[in-house]
Structure 1
Amino acid sequence: MKLQILVSSLNQEVKSLAEKMNLQADTILINQCNENRYEEWTQDGHQIRCYHLAERGVGLSRNNALLRADADLCLFSDEDIVYDDGAVERIIEGFEQHPEADMLLFNVRVQESRFTYWNSFYKRVRWYNCGRYPAYSFALRTAKMHEKNLTYSLLFGGGAKYANGEDSLFIHDCLKAGLKVYSIPVEIGEEQPRPSTWFFGFDRKFFHDRGVLYHVLYGKLAAVMGFRFLLKNKSNMNSESCPEGLTFDEAKKALLSGIRDAKGGL
């Protein structure tokens, strides 16, 4: 099997970026910038195809890469990921050992403040536990994605109407389409620290957008899952992380308003 890496970047010097990321497979790199042009080159024997596009939106960026993907497997990535030596071989080996899997979620090391998941054993991912995995952990069978016409939402994520949640929605759509998704305890790289492009603290918009997301993900269980999220993050809602000084009740009110708005249509 062959693997292709699908990189989403913003205003990058792409050849330096490709070297820094330690790319070890053919790559499609989408660079959101202020011009439209194409270039390609070879790095360590691998073809790098770069599309400079004058547009914004992480979902749009990932779709542009996914629709051009033509290898057996594809791996989503971001500009701040650096791959371990041998990462590509470990990913391919994962799919060879697990032919039942349409999508595998790998471990990527992150700084403590960004920690949301860690796979300790091989297990099936379901609708109720799919909301904590980032795109850079996703590896997929490309033909399956194209067969099911799966793409990223353009309403959620950096550069979109609602701040985040695009990765959770993508897994949700994969599961809804009947794909078999598994997490696997295999490390492939590390995320380099950088300022967030979308999280500016626990403000009203954050909780409102979270309510919209939970309605799309969980339907009638949106309020229950939202309250669970609030309780889980209550200790993190301090003066530093809450620029608007929201109380717990105010955060809950904002989240519920997002759920109500989503019921009326996005």
Structure 2
Amino acid sequence: MHQHDKSILTKSNVQSDVVVVNQCDTDSVEEFDFVNKYGQTKHCIFVSTTQRGLSRSRNMAVSYAPEDSICKICDDDETFADDIETKVLCAYERHPDASLIAFSMNRPDKKYGKVYPKADMHLSFSRILKTTSVEITFKKRHISDFAITFDEKMGSGTGNGGGEENKFMLDIRRAGGKLYFAPENIGTVNPAPSQWFTGYNSDMIRNYGWAAHRSMGFILGLIYSHYWVISHRHLYGNSLSMYGAYKNILGGFFEKR
């Protein structure tokens, strides 16, 4: 948000073609070439917009990407690996049928530490729910064919919490797309305060119930909501009882927004 120059390209260590969506107070589109650290000429589409919302920005970025591109989601708290392009392209060569491939990321903040699988694998339903937007890449052509976008009622800036990337992946899965995990590390997530997560409180759990219904449907979403309350008691137990958690997650589940 409110970028005043193009330094985000250097800060994020961008070495490939890129679309930047800058939420600010003006509307414009600027295109230019730049030379990466390997001496290769790459192209940037720099979109400034007065629109707000994380999912809306992601959809806007995807709309500007070439139809035959492989897209990598990135926020301004990430730094790409130098060889990200090679790693991503090699993974898609191994899985030519893939619509989406998730990768591993460095996370210096130990609070968000994550253990990744050591080998390629299909993304199961449970692993999809544990995958975050910083880890995913996808083929734009497949997303276009499936007519799938990021849900603009979900994500930072909506007041409805997160989970937009999980719904995006589940939508691809329901459409028949193939989702994989590849163990290569493609970047670092730098510690930064969340724009929407303030702890496992009643508002967060209510949003979680709403997101479960929207992402998974009635039956599966209801089952998962019950499972979440039981299995995540260690996360919310300091602020809510199990009854309180049930009350909030089911309140959100049945809420119309």
2:60 equivalent to 1:73 = no
Matching of residues 164-243 of structure 1 within 5 Å: 164-218=162-216, 219-237=218-236
Q: Distance in 2 between matches of 1:214 and 1:117?
A: 24
Number of residue pairs the alignment of both structures matches: 249
Which residue does 1:4 correspond to in 2? none
- Give 1:116 deviation, angstroms: 5.3
Residue 38 to residue 117, structure 1, CA distance change in 2 (3 Å): farther
Correspondence for 2:127 among 126, 129, 134: 129
Which residue does 2:246 correspond to in 1? 252
Deviations 1:202-221 (A, max 9, x none): 22221111111112233313
Contact 1:117 1:132 in 2 (8 A): no
Which residue does 1:152 correspond to in 2? 150
Contact 1:211 1:255 in 2 (8 A): yes
- What amino acid is aligned across from residue 60 of structure 1 in structure 2? R
Q: Distance in 1 between matches of 2:113 and 2:32?
A: 34
Q: Which moved more, 1:33-42 or 1:229-238?
A: 229-238
Q: Distance in 2 between matches of 1:115 and 1:141?
A: 28
Unaligned runs of 5+ in 1: 1-9, 240-244
Which residue does 2:38 correspond to in 1? none
Which residue does 2:11 correspond to in 1? 20
Which residue does 2:43 correspond to in 1? 47
Residue 46 to residue 147, structure 1, CA distance change in 2 (3 Å): same
Residue 115 to residue 232, structure 1, CA distance change in 2 (3 Å): farther
- Give 1:128 deviation, angstroms: 3.9
- Give 1:27 deviation, angstroms: 0.3
Q: Distance in 2 between matches of 1:57 and 1:127?
A: 26
Which residue does 1:88 correspond to in 2? 85
Contact 1:107 1:187 in 2 (8 A): yes
2:101 equivalent to 1:107 = no
Contact 1:126 1:175 in 2 (8 A): no
- What amino acid is aligned across from residue 197 of structure 2 in structure 1? F
Unaligned runs of 5+ in 2: 36-40
Give the fraction of aligned pairs with identical amino acids, expressed as a percent. Answer: 22
Q: Which moved more, 1:29-38 or 1:68-77?
A: 68-77
Residue 173 to residue 208, structure 1, CA distance change in 2 (3 Å): same
Q: Which moved more, 1:113-122 or 1:14-23?
A: 113-122
Q: Which moved more, 1:15-24 or 1:40-49?
A: 40-49
Q: Distance in 2 between matches of 1:115 and 1:221?
A: 28
Q: Distance in 2 between matches of 1:171 and 1:22?
A: 26
> SS of 1:38's equivalent?
strand
- What amino acid is aligned across from residue 18 of structure 1 in structure 2? L
Q: Distance in 2 between matches of 1:214 and 1:120?
A: 29
- Give 1:163 deviation, angstroms: 0.9
